[in-house]
């Protein structure tokens, strides 16, 4: 069924399975899923949601089984599912860990690929891209799917998303630590995401998608170069083009949706859904208010430069792109956090009470990366890091924000 512009939404949340006593990576997602009733493919439908495996055997995904009209109250249902899955994991001595990267995982020694259904696809990825790295094994995110119908609606949505993408790490970064140390970036996940398929640069491009505004141009400009580049690496065509495209937002014309992939997963569904609600309402505001011609020509290189600045500096990154500043009538460069405050002021009346309260708190206290850095401080020994991430796991259990 085809849905109109932003008429339906879909959410996907990725979590890492860890040992409850030590928070060490636990590559037993198959055991937990199968014991809970999953089919041979690892999929476990439960009402309006579904649990499934990912590429590695320590990551599980929770997603809406069908698109929803509104995100209001979805966080409560998602949290109920998280609570249920934590009970299943507890039978195996495990729990779920939030945030976009495990703070001390060593993927070269701890990565175990999913060993069951779809192994041909996963083995192909491993053969071509060598999946024993953070970019494959330690990158948990929140995906947002947004509906459109036809080229005209696709053009409006794609243009609006391109403008918003580089700002996302400025509010959603949650991955400041890599292998037990500060990485130097607020959103380390995105740097690994950018580079994990660098062997075939056509796959991710500049992460910011190109200014293509109809299906035919998109297929010529993105899918065809990927297909050509992959012929040497995947002559049997095991890997599907729709899944290979790894830009920060990918068009799924078969589903009539665009999927945003740049949101680090937060400490609890309430935080995830607050950020997603603001993104959705911001896109609604842009497509209804802003003339398409004023944003369609924003240069990919400029947007990509800003993306890596916000991934590096979070909300402190300075926005200098005229197309973005003009949207909110800024006459000079401002911090990404200031843009988010302006967006919040613009769309706050359309948010649920939970999202309004939660997003307002995030604006005051900073991204989850900010709060993790403040809590751990300069004393980043293993015991202190483990204490903070234990607290984050408790935030997931209680569906509450982490306070530094």
pLDDT in tens, 242-251: 789 999 999 9
Q: Which two tokens stand for residue 87?
A: 């009970």
pLDDT tens track of the chain, all 404 residues? 789 999 999 999 999 999 999 999 999 999 999 999 999 889 999 999 999 998 999 999 999 999 999 999 899 999 999 999 999 999 999 999 999 999 999 999 999 999 987 778 888 999 999 999 999 999 999 999 999 999 999 999 999 999 999 999 999 999 999 999 999 999 999 999 999 999 999 999 999 999 999 999 999 999 999 999 999 999 988 998 878 999 999 999 999 999 999 999 999 999 999 999 999 999 999 999 988 998 998 999 999 999 999 999 999 999 999 889 988 889 999 999 999 999 999 999 999 999 999 999 999 999 999 999 999 987 779 999 999 999 999 999 999 999 98
- Closest by CA position to 264, among listed 37, 14, 48: 14
Residue 80 lies in a domain: yes
Residue 404 lies in a domain: no
Residue 403 lies in a domain: no
pTM for the structure as a whole: 0.97
What is the β-pairing status of strands 257-264 and 249-252?
A: antiparallel
Contact 49, 78 (CB under 8 A): yes
Q: Which two tokens stand for residue 235?
A: 């002559």
Q: Which two tokens stand for residue 387?
A: 């204490």
Q: Residue 355 sits in a domain of what CATH number?
A: 3.30.590.20
Q: Give the DSSP H/E element, type plus range, for residue 262.
A: strand 257-264
Mean pLDDT of the chain: 95
CA distance 26 to 23: 8
Residue 3 lies in a domain: no
pLDDT digits (tens, 9 = 90+) for 346-360: 999 999 999 999 999
Residue 1 lies in a domain: no
CB under 8 Å to 390, separation ≥6 — which residues?
23
Q: Which structural domain, as residue segments, surrounds residue 222?
A: 9-398
Residue 4 lies in a domain: no
Residue 165 lies in a domain: yes
Based on the structure, what is the number of domains in the chain? 1
CA distance 177 to 101: 7
């Amino acid at each position: 069924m085809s849905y109109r512009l932003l008429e339906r939404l879909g959410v996907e949340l990725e979590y890492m399975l860890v040992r409850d006593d030590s928070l060490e990576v636990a590559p037993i997602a198959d055991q937990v899923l199968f014991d809970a009733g999953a089919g041979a493919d690892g999929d476990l439908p439960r009402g309006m949601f579904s649990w499934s495996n990912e590429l590695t055997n320590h990551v599980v995904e929770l997603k809406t089984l069908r698109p929803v009209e509104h995100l209001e109250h979805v966080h409560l249902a998602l949290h109920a599912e998280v609570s249920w899955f934590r009970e299943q994991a507890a039978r195996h001595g495990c729990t779920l860990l939030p945030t976009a990267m495990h703070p001390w995982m060593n993927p070269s020694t701890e990565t175990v690929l999913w060993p069951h259904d779809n192994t041909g696809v996963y083995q192909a990825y491993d053969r071509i891209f060598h999946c024993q790295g953070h970019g494959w094994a330690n990158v948990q995110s929140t995906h947002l799917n947004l509906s459109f119908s036809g080229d005209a609606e696709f053009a409006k949505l794609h243009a609006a998303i391109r403008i918003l993408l580089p700002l996302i790490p400025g509010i959603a970064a949650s991955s400041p630590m890599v292998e037990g140390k500060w990485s130097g970036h607020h959103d380390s996940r995105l740097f690994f995401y950018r580079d994990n398929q660098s062997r075939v640069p056509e796959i991710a491009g500049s992460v910011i998608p190109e200014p293509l505004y109809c299906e035919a141009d998109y297929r010529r400009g993105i899918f065809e170069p990927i297909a050509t580049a992959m012929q040497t690496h995947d002559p049997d065509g095991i890997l599907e083009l729709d899944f290979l495209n790894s830009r920060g937002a990918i068009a799924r014309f078969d589903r009539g949706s665009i999927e945003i992939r740049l949101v680090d997963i937060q400490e609890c569904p309430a935080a995830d859904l607050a950020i997603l609600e603001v993104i959705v309402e911001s896109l609604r505001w842009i497509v209804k208010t802003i003339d398409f011609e004023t944003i369609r020509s924003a240069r990919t290189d400029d947007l990509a430069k800003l993306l890596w600045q916000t991934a590096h500096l979070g909300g402190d990154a300075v926005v200098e792109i005229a197309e973005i500043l003009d949207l909110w009538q800024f006459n000079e460069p401002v911090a990404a956090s200031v843009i988010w405050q302006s967006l919040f002021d613009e769309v706050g009346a359309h948010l649920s009470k939970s999202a309004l309260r939660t997003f307002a708190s995030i604006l005051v206290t900073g991204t989850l990366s900010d709060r993790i850095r403040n809590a751990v401080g300069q004393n980043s020994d293993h015991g202190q890091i483990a204490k903070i991430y234990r607290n984050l796991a408790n935030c997931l259990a209680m569906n509450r924000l982490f306070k530094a």
